Amino acid sequence: MKKSVFSLLILVAWLCGKGYSQTIPLESFKEVTLPVSGSKEIYALNNKPGQEFAVTLVKGKLMITKATYSPVFEYPLPEGRLLGVNQGEWGGGLYYKLNDTTIKDIYVNGDARKANTPGDPFRGGLMIPERNPITKLIKGTFLIKTGNIQKVFNYKDSLYTLEGLAHMGLSFGSISKLDIKGNKITGSLRLKFDDAPFGFAIYKDDIYMATLNRFYVIHNWREELILDHLFWSYLYPNSVAVKDAKHIYVGMRAGYAMIDAENKTVVFYQYTGNN
């Protein structure tokens, strides 16, 4: 069974800019037998692009919403902002927009970088036409790194990026640390994945990570594999919410899953409503 190019673009870009709207009642989902990867059932669930569900916790209670995505997101900094771009198979990058427009160079791990100019949207890492709106967004920014940037997040008082790609049999990703001081940036690889990461949550200083086929708990930068060969690679996991180790929720197409990390079990709740 082959995935459509459109579906793959959603899969690799999802975490770039999740948007949440329209709360869906939990009664609209029912527990079902886990779908089998490669089956007609999983293909039918895959063919529901309008049913993308994200999970969050509000005052300890699970909330399900419709999810949307954008290939671009912003992360504010005191001296400017970061722009993360994920165009799936067409590349992406992490860009820095400084408030001080008189700065003409930044230094990434000691290497000087010039600002982006019209006609030069860093096509070495981002293959987009000039008319693409992203070209305008990154005008005047500095390219920090190429790659499919899914998220910039703060963890233990440090800044990190999450990136990953799943396309045509490829599946990989990483977490990198960023240290930004004015126009001087230091980046270093913190963790490498051989399965593309998509949704994660931080709970009690641990990172709970849903990848294309697996689920991990990352403690002190050491991965513990909780579940492997998961059914959801065709359902595009997009978000994770952790109530406790026995109640971990993962949002995806056609429903959501609940994981018990202690007993290493997973349950799938399929959407049955009309919203």
pLDDT in tens, 234-247: 999 999 999 999 99
pLDDT score of 9 more than 90: no
* Partners of residue 211 on adjacent β-strands: 197
Cβ contacts of 75 within 8 Å, gap of 6 or more: 81, 82, 84, 152
The two tokens of residue 40 are 């007609």
User: What pLDDT is stored for residue 119 in this prediction?
Assistant: 56
- pLDDT tier for residue 255 given thresholds of 50, 70 and 90: very high
- pLDDT tier for residue 274 given thresholds of 50, 70 and 90: low
Q: What string of DSSP letters covers 45-110? A: HHT-TT-BEEEEEETTEEEEEEEE--SEEEEEETTEEEEEEE-GGGBEEEEEEES-TT--EEEETT
CA–CA distances in Å: residue 4 to residues 39, 81, 198, 231: 16, 34, 18, 18
Give the residue-averaged pLDDT of 169-173.
89
- pLDDT tier for residue 275 given thresholds of 50, 70 and 90: low
Count other C-beta atoms under 10 Å from residue 17's C-beta.
Answer: 18
pLDDT tens-digit series, residues 174-211: 999 999 998 999 999 999 999 999 999 999 999 999 99
CA–CA distances in Å: residue 54 to residues 95, 154, 169, 228, 236: 27, 21, 26, 21, 11
Angstrom distance (rounded) from CA 72 to CA 15 = 9
Helix (H, G, I), strand (E, B) or coil at 135: helix
pLDDT score of 150 more than 90: yes
| Strand-pair category, 105-108 with 215-219 | unpaired
Domain limits, the chain: 1-43+69-225
Quote the DSSP letter at residue 11. Answer: H
pTM score, two decimals?
0.87
The two tokens of residue 188 are 């270093």
Quote the DSSP letter at residue 35. Answer: P
User: What pLDDT is stored for residue 6 in this prediction?
Assistant: 33
Q: Which of 26-35, 52-61, 87-96, 261-270 has the lowest mean pLDDT?
A: 87-96
Do residues 257 and 249 lie in contact, with contact meaning Cβ atoms separated by under 8 Å? yes
Choose among 225, 207, 206: nearest CA to 215. 225
Do residues 232 and 252 lie in contact, with contact meaning Cβ atoms separated by under 8 Å? yes
Q: Which residue has the higher pLDDT, 4 or 108?
A: 108
User: What pLDDT is stored for residue 7 in this prediction?
Assistant: 37
